[in-house]
A and B are shown apart, each in its own frame.
Chain A
Amino acid sequence: MIRVALPHHLRELAGVGPEVSLEIGPAVTQRTVLDALEARYPMLAGTIRDHTTLQRRPFLRFFACGTDYSLAGPDEPLPAAVAAGREPFMVIGAIAGG
């Protein structure tokens, strides 16, 4: 199972807690994780990636095992710890509260 951590506004949109678990195939990449996430929670389609270009929204970033994967290619493999479910794939959002 892959774990995905979501920012508050997406948790509320999907009606889920801080993390969701997803079953995906052997290739664990940004694309396969986000495709599975959007298939399970259709209301998230277009919120993390642009509907048309599939580019990451500029107010969100992707992290795995403490490393920034936001600028990595969508088909680049994610770390083994993420593939094994030991670490979450993190979607971090901009917040402005002070």
Chain B
Amino acid sequence: MPQSPTDKNDRPPAQPLSLNEISRYSRHLLIPEIGVGGQTRLKGSSVLIVGAGGLGSPAAMYLAAAGTGRIGIADADVVDLTNLQRQLLHDTSDVGRQKVDSAAATLRAINPEIIIETHPVRLTSRNTAEILKRYDVVIDGSDNFPTRYLLNDAAFFLGKPLIYGSVFRFEGQISLFHPKSGGPCYRCLFPEPPPPGLVPGCSEGGVLGVLPGVIGTLQALEAVKFITGTGTSLAGRMLVFDGLGMSFRELALTPDPACPLCGAAPSVHDLIDYDDFCGLSPGGLQGGGRDSITVESLKERIDRGEKPFILDVREPAEFDICNLGGMLVPQRDLPLRVSGLNRTAEIVVVCKMGERSARAAEFLRSAGFTNVKNLAGGIDAWRERIDPTLPVY
């Protein structure tokens, strides 16, 4: 099993502590595994946290409190009311504020001794390497597959350790990807992402607010261990946390010799178009897929007195929050209930964001339905552009 970290040259340079810092970090200094040596390395270190959300909040707050010398926060979003159930970097007064600004204010309040840098941009193949190369460690607190593959590839090319965490409902995963240390990369684990809409994200499937607190905190711990050279890292291992059963499972991971990035004969030699890789390019499912209808077109038709049959393929809990008055058949139940639908009538398929409904529409077409349309952007687009009184979820 790879130990942490294997190459002393990966460790940041030590920086001497002031009297004030000796007091602030005294509980660290008393731990033999950290001590003055570890704390000075923390002070000399830099960590980039991608995503100022559920995972990024505890990770950033603990790393700031721990005395990480320079912390970068990358996030292009603004604070939304739906974030506050779990994203402790932000409070109610921050709604509408740029997340990186809110995060920076919180972190500076926790520890004014450290440097906070903000990157209010969406990471892309063009800007990611420039940002990542300025930091010693990268923490993945993102919420989508394109960014996860982008960070994995960029961190690999730059030789940076990537501390991976992800959550869904009551479950979390955490690992350290650093092929330089002998472990696998994210692509070794999952060479391809799931098709869009197949695996719901937290915005569609939900997440218990405490859950990213557990995983994000462990990401911070893993960063502290890596920087100080303490303990055994998660390289080559993944922890899977089950909040309902309250258990951790440790799973051994091995590098894939056929990995397209870090394997023996790699085919990925540079950063690519990750939206395209994940099936999210324009014209793909997120754009509505084929035979889609816009929310404006649907509204015009309803206003003209037409009554298109609306098939809502979300989960019952989502339907209960808000709906367009359609018939509820969750996507997973569609194969069993397809016989009850009219194969020649027009069907407008609806979900939250337009991805699940695009897949459901494709399924119906393959089952012989001849007039199926997907509502592009789903309920979210309807609320944004037609009816702002619908609740946000």
Q: Give residues 41-97 of A contacting B (CB, 8 Å).
A: 43, 57-59, 61, 63, 66-68, 71, 90, 92-97
Q: Which chain A residues lie closer than 8 Å to B335 at the CB level? A: 43
Contact with A along B164-198 (1 / 0, CB 8 A): 01111101010000000000000001111110001
Q: How far is the CB of A53 from chain B (nearest CB, A)?
A: 14
B202: A residues at CB distance < 8 A: 97-98
Judge if A40 is at the interface, Cβ distance under 8 Å.
no
> What is the total number of residues of chain A having a CB less than 8 Å from a CB of chain B?
25
Task: Let me know if B200 is at the binding interface, CB within 8 A.
Answer: yes
- Quick check: is B205 within 8 A (CB to CB) of the other chain? yes
Given that A66-B251, A92-B240 are known contacts, is A98 also in contact with B212, CB under 8 Å in the complex? Answer: yes
B288 at interface (Cβ–Cβ under 8 A)?
no
Instruction: List chain A residues, Cβ under 8 A from B207.
Output: 97
Chain B positions within 8 Å of A59 at CB level: 190, 192-194, 199
A96 to chain B minimum Cβ distance, whole angstroms, is 5
* A12 is an interface residue with CB less than 8 A from chain B: yes
Q: Which residue of A lies closest to B336 (CB)?
A: A43
Do A8 and B169 have beta carbons less than 8 Å apart? yes
Q: From residue 224 to 281 of chain B, which have CB atoms closer than 8 A to chain A? A: 240, 242, 244-245, 249-254, 256
CB neighbours (8 Å) of B51 from chain A are 98
CB neighbours (8 Å) of B44 from chain A are none
Q: Does A13 contact B (CB under 8 A)?
A: yes
Name the contact of A97 in the complex, choosing from B166, B193, B336 (C-beta under 8 A).
B166
B54 adjacent to chain A (CB < 8 Å): yes
Measured between beta carbons, the chain A residues less than 8 angstroms from B245 are: 18
10 of the cross-chain contacts (CB-CB < 8 Å) are: A8-B169, A8-B199, A9-B194, A18-B242, A59-B190, A66-B249, A71-B254, A94-B190, A98-B142, A98-B167
